[in-house]
Structure 1
Amino acid sequence: MSAPSKSVFLLGPGLIGRNVIDLLLAEGYSVTALVRRESAAAELQNDGVETVLGTLADSEIITKQTIACDIVLHVATADDLPSVQAVLKGVKRRAQDGQQTIYIHTSGTGLFGDAAKGQYEADRVYSDDKPQDIDALPDTAPHRAIDLAIVRARQELGHGAKVAIMIPPLIYGIQHEYRRLSIQLPTLTRFALKHGYAGQVGRGASVWSTIHVLDLARGYIALLRWLEQTPAGEVMENPYFFCESGHDIAWKEPVAVIGQALHAAGRIKDPSPRTIPEQDYKDLFGEFTPLVVGSNCRSRATRLRQLGWQPREKGVLESLQDDEIPLLLQETGEFNGYTGVAAS
């Protein structure tokens, strides 16, 4: 077997992607990253990363860089179809030229979030060794339209590419050098700082699986190694990989930590969690608030564990208290809800 290619094109060098880049560089990969700002490009270049200025809307740039690299990792967002289509266009062009591509896309377990609205815990737990359960999800499920474009392209490409979809749950934690924050729990914390109480959707009873960002980054590397070593026919059998810590939490648990920490810091008067009125969802995730921080979303990373991957970072509640909240307490400026794109 020939040595695997070491050229990688990465979209999204943010919370997840920056940590993945460090691991790729440590293993001798040559990395090119799509970046929006010259300041971010300079930081990456100092670490030996090639950069291309552009956004997810720059389809021609994305396709061109995909054609130039044997490995593509899309870790910017689970919900940008044009950028995925641009990657797939490049992958198909490479296949036509007899060049095989490894493509790892990032989705999220919001795929199977329910309508619990924080009122109850559901028993359903999805496992990535049962792809039929994921394929049975409705086409209208969150992230599913993008995932389906990839699944259908896999079928068209056949053995011409090795394509996989990483599906993380609630991402938490920081890498202390970069001090980047995740989305869901920091947004709940910013909401509490703005409104003066720790808020939850409904009773906060619904449950999500969790993953520390550094364990997730290692999951991408474990998946990449498997793709490099595995025949395309075997890769075709199942595109889905979950990545979770084994520790599921009800939403009321981190909300309680937020309340206690902000009260101890003198930033709110009462640490007790309260139900958030729907009119204030605009300061969270708008109409998607019940799904993003109030649904049940439970998964098991059976396949990564079979590859030898294991989570090893601190748990979500300890990380929230020790790492994220201290950074959030330093923030200034007005907060009006989360409006960006994400991979969770």
Structure 2
Amino acid sequence: MSASSKSVFLLGPGLVGRNVVDLLLVEGYSVTTLVRRESAAAELQKDGVKTIHGTLANSEVITKQTIACDIVFHIATADDLPSVQAVLEGVKFRAQAGQQTIYIHTSGTGLFGDAAMGQYKGERVYSDDKPHDIDALPDTAPHRTIDLTIIRARQELGSRVKVAIMIPPLIYGIQHKYKRLSIQLPTLARFALKHGYAGQVGEGRSVWSTIHVLDLARGYITLLHWLEKTSAVTVLENPYFFCESGDDIAWAEPIAVIGQALHAAGRIKDPAPKTIPEQDYKDLFGEFTPLVVGSNCRSRATRLRQLGWQPREKGVLESLRDDELPLLLQETGEFNGYTGVAAS
């Protein structure tokens, strides 16, 4: 079946998803997205994307659109169970009608974040060609409830669905056309602007793997093409795919870049990083702050590289300094911590 005859339903046409949409359109796929705002719908429609109005809470809408499509991407958030259940209901309906579905869900490497609190570099590195290491994670690990729901449905449906779970690390970078920012590093920069210093959890020694948003978008397309041409039996062997640049960084490194850039812009008095007191975690990610910007999360995208995918965008520190911080410094308004939904 040619790309032009395949229909895609994509949840989450934001920082990551919008770039995936663009790549799908270039290849001739018919794309429908779920959108909350009329302005977003107008932008997408202008590029030839079909839109349906709704939120992740609109389960009936999501199920109905899943039934109508051959391929589903869930890139909106790693932690919304009702929307995932709605997708799976649509997938099951299609299976009962003899239609196979490709479902690519987005999780995140917070799955295996530790309790380092920025005090040390973790030596454990997970690889996606070793699914048993991921399956051994506790059911209480971040994102795991959602992932297990998908895996159980996958086992039930067998060859009637091809499921993959993309597990990205720290996402950074911008697509200049849309000027959307990522989450973790910009949130730390906004915290610095509000509190007057570049803050880190503990000593900033914990390490995360990283991926540029455009490399990640290409990773999704590489994964899609593999699912399209691979037998359902083979797909069942391992649902996990990491996507990382090979550039692991200690949190102290981007914090130092943030301090230097904001000091040079005259926005903070001292560029030196400082440890964030726990009472101020409310201005970051609340109780999840130590996990999101203070843990160790290291991964290797062995499987995508075997499929020919390679990262090609600039590194995380260069991107932060040259692309994200200049855009962020144009923002106005009060900042009170991150409150949106995240891909990971």
TM-score, normalised via structure 2 length: 0.99
Match of 2:317 in 1: 317
In 2, Cα distance between the equivalents of 1:262 and 1:167? 31
- Letter in structure 2 aligned against 1:72: V
In 1, Cα distance between the equivalents of 2:17 and 2:50? 14
In 1, Cα distance between the equivalents of 2:282 and 2:188? 12
1:227 is paired with a residue of what secondary structure? helix
- Letter in structure 2 aligned against 1:55: T
- Letter in structure 2 aligned against 1:288: F
1:96 partnered with 2:101:
no
1:72 is paired with a residue of what secondary structure? strand
In 2, Cα distance between the equivalents of 1:216 and 1:3? 24
Match of 2:209 in 1: 209
1:180 is paired with a residue of what secondary structure? coil
CA displacement, residues 186-234 of structure 1 (integer Å, 9 cap, x when unaligned) = 0000000000000000000000000000000000000000000000000
Q: Superposition pairs for residues 260-279 of structure 1, below 5 Å? A: 260-279=260-279
Quote how far apart the aligned CAs of 1:243 are: 0.1
2:290 is paired with a residue of what secondary structure? helix
Q: Superposition pairs for residues 137-216 of structure 1, below 5 Å? A: 137-216=137-216
In 1, Cα distance between the equivalents of 2:213 and 2:6? 23
In 2, Cα distance between the equivalents of 1:201 and 1:74? 30
In 1, Cα distance between the equivalents of 2:42 and 2:318? 33
In 2, Cα distance between the equivalents of 1:154 and 1:328? 41
Quote how far apart the aligned CAs of 1:3 are: 4.1
1:280 is paired with a residue of what secondary structure? helix
Match of 1:9 in 2: 9
Match of 2:109 in 1: 109
1:31 is paired with a residue of what secondary structure? strand
In 1, Cα distance between the equivalents of 2:336 and 2:38? 27
CA displacement, residues 322-342 of structure 1 (integer Å, 9 cap, x when unaligned) = 000001111000000001110
The verdict on how the C-alpha distance between 1:124 and 1:288 changes in structure 2, with shifts beyond 3 A counting, is: same
Alignment gaps of 5+ in structure 2? none
1:226 partnered with 2:226:
yes
- Letter in structure 2 aligned against 1:8: V
CA displacement, residues 163-183 of structure 1 (integer Å, 9 cap, x when unaligned) = 000000000000000000010
In 2, Cα distance between the equivalents of 1:196 and 1:298? 30
Q: Superposition pairs for residues 229-240 of structure 1, below 5 Å? A: 229-240=229-240
1:34 is paired with a residue of what secondary structure? strand
In 1, Cα distance between the equivalents of 2:340 and 2:135? 27
CA displacement, residues 249-272 of structure 1 (integer Å, 9 cap, x when unaligned) = 000000000000000000001000
* Identical-pair percentage: 86
Match of 1:290 in 2: 290
- Letter in structure 2 aligned against 1:31: V
In 1, Cα distance between the equivalents of 2:27 and 2:192? 41
1:297 is paired with a residue of what secondary structure? coil
1:10 is paired with a residue of what secondary structure? strand
In 1, Cα distance between the equivalents of 2:6 and 2:214? 21
What RMSD over aligned residues (CA atoms) do the two structures have, in Å? Answer: 0.6
In 1, Cα distance between the equivalents of 2:2 and 2:18? 25
CA displacement, residues 20-74 of structure 1 (integer Å, 9 cap, x when unaligned) = 0000000000000000011110110000000000000000000000000000000
- Letter in structure 1 aligned against 2:136: A
TM-score, normalised via structure 1 length: 0.99
2:214 is paired with a residue of what secondary structure? helix
1:71 partnered with 2:76:
no
Match of 1:131 in 2: 131
2:67 is paired with a residue of what secondary structure? helix
In 2, Cα distance between the equivalents of 1:39 and 1:259? 34
In 1, Cα distance between the equivalents of 2:258 and 2:122? 24
Match of 2:24 in 1: 24
2:211 is paired with a residue of what secondary structure? strand
In 2, Cα distance between the equivalents of 1:132 and 1:340? 32
1:241 is paired with a residue of what secondary structure? strand
